[in-house]
Amino acid sequence: MIGVFDSGLGGLTVLRAFLKHLPQYGYLYLGDNARAPYGNKSLEVIYEYTRQAVEFLFDRGCILIILACNTASAKALRKIQQEWLPSHHPDRRVLGVVIPVAEVGVQVTRYGRIGVIGTRATIETKVYQQELDKLRGDLKVYGLACPLLVPLVEEGWAGKPETNRILKKYLRHLKDRKVDTLILGCTHYPFLQKDIKRIMGKNCKVLDGPEIVADKLEDYLHRHPEIEGRVTRNGKVSYCTTDDPERFKRFGEKFLGQTLAHVEKVKFD
């Protein structure tokens, strides 16, 4: 299986793209809803929560895990890849969502003015700025923390007038700096993508992160047959959450447009 992990519901945007482009594989989605959001937590806590999730998904049979969470990708991925994985599961892989989106951002920017919105933790790490600078040194990168957006999405407030007013207030900062490309540095934000595009206007390209990550995953699997050959090909999807499975089920069905037969509640020690 391919594991998809997020601190909450935002990773469903990535899973939806996987199911669209790579429906042949088996997937296990894990949302740590009981401890979301991760964006206001310390580096040590985020790493430990992410490590627990990765261990859980590996124990359930996942060969490859996508951290469909920008905060986990920014604050935990490198340590997991470099320190934990080699000594615990050297034959398996954990990938993130930051580098694929940064690569496309560099490709599409017209004037080298890129905005990044994300959780406070993601913006404070400057992980997108660092990856963008590695790819092209002359960019102007403007990071903006938007801590209210994840709770609003999790509560089902996407599209409501109150949420749009908050979006306008956040995004005014980036519009004033005339960014031509906007990276949604949180997998919850695609739930708000239509309104973000409208607010930013036609002169700003708002990147579709989940589509980008799906394309990059397909490319990765083609380049790594030793991993791809071990991934289950049964087209089945399973869901786990650390919080209320009925709430997860309602949200997931509304967003994915399909019935979720069963959502399992799990607990980490």
What are 234's two structure tokens? Answer: 């049964």
Is the CB of residue 50 less than 8 Å from the CB of residue 25? no
Q: Which of 62, 146, 186, 240 is catalytic?
A: 186
d(CA 200, CA 182): 9
CA 77 to chain centroid: 12
Is the CB of residue 46 less than 8 Å from the CB of residue 72? yes
What are 220's two structure tokens? Answer: 């990765």
62 is catalytic: no
d(CA 108, CA 103): 9
What are 149's two structure tokens? Answer: 């957006």
204 is catalytic: no
d(CA 244, CA 164): 27
Q: Which of 62, 69, 146, 240 is catalytic?
A: 69
Angle at the Cα of 225 from the Cα atoms of 238 and 22, rounded to 5 degrees: 40
d(CA 82, CA 32): 23
- Active site residues per annotation: 69, 186
